[in-house]
Each structure stands twice: as C-alpha cells, then as structure tokens.
Structure 1
C-alpha cells in the first residue's frame, strides 16, 4: 500500500512538473472553477450553509438548556447542604456494635 502511494505521488509530481502537466493542471483548475461558481453548485452551497447554521443553533440551544439545568441542580444541592435541617448526621465515632 505504501509503495502504491509513493508511486502515485511520484507520477503526479512528474505530470504536474512537466510543461504538458502544467497546461493540463491549468485546464483542470479553470474547469473546476467554472463548476464551483456555477448556479446549481452555489445554490447547493447556500442550502448547506443554511442547514449547518440551523443545526448549530439548535445544538447551541440544547447546550444552553443543559447548562442551565445543571446549574440549577448544583445550586439546589448547595442550598440543601447549607440547611442543617436537611443534612444527615455524621456517622458515629464509636466502634462497631456500640449503640
């Protein structure tokens, strides 16, 4: 597998390094630029951006809600720990079996 990758990289370097390879590279670059800037592709790009923004917004709302809930739980726990009427007595320091 590594040999195949090395051979492929060497071949690509050779082709791109030659004059004919450079001309072909420029041709491919021009064509890909035309495709990228075409109306259907840009329409798809804008739709994908909208979907991504919506998903990010929804995820952000869920994270904010979870953080708020966790904060409320921690605050309630701290309040309960500060109230001596709700705390449990510490274990007896007497030995086992001693009442």
Structure 2
C-alpha cells in the first residue's frame, strides 16, 4: 500500500513539473535525445547489437529445430512401438480388459470412468 502511494505521488509530481516546464522544455529534451540517437558512435553500437541479436536468434532457432526434430522422432518411434506391439494385436486386445482401446481409431480412444465404491 505504501509503495502504491509513493508511486502515485511521484507520478503526480512528475505531471505537475512537466506541465510547468511546458512544450519548450519537451522540445529541448526531444532534441537532445534526437542528437544522441543520431550520434555515429551510438548508431555503430546499435548496429553491433542488432547483428549479435540476429546471430543469437539464428542459433536459438537452429537449436530449437534440432530439439523439436529429435522429440518428434522419439514420439513417432514410441507411437509405432505402441501400435505395432508384438505383432499380433488381436490376441492382446481380446485378452485384456476393456480399458485397452488400441484397436479403436484415434478419435475414439477416451474413456469416462465412474468411481465405484
């Protein structure tokens, strides 16, 4: 609560001081920021940082692509193993309980279980 009051007081103070300074002071600050941003040293540094960010983004994208590919391969292998089983799925499904629905199409594989007391 105390932090909110301090924040609101600081905001109100800034508003009052900004209103007193007026448009002329705003123009001075905007001009100074424009000169700073236009400085060749600043622009050189901005360019370096943009290049570095681009390189890091490419590396992250490549790493993510590798990990997704590996995970997809692993999942595909697991699914193939689950559905191919030991070769004869008709005997395993007929001898198992009604909870095994590996013979059903993918859209029909959910069960609703009711608690039994």
TM-score (norm 1): 0.74
TM-superposed deviation, 1:8: 2.0
Figure out how many residues of one structure are paired with residues of the other and give that number: 91
Q: Residue 46 of structure 1: SS of its match in structure 2?
A: helix
The answer to whether the Cα contact below 8 Å between 1:36 and 1:42 also exists between their aligned partners in 2 is yes
TM-superposed deviation, 1:6: 2.4
Over the residues paired in the alignment, what is the CA RMSD in angstroms? 2.5
Match of 2:101 in 1: none
Match of 1:5 in 2: 7
Match of 1:72 in 2: 73
Query: Which structure 1 residue ranges, 5 or more long, are not aligned?
Result: 94-99
Match of 1:24 in 2: 25
Q: Deviations over 1:24-65 (max 9, x none)?
A: 221111001110111111111111111111111111111110
Query: Which structure 2 residue ranges, 5 or more long, are not aligned?
Result: 98-117
The answer to whether the Cα contact below 8 Å between 1:15 and 1:22 also exists between their aligned partners in 2 is no
Moved over 4 A (4+): 89-93
TM-superposed deviation, 1:92: 8.0
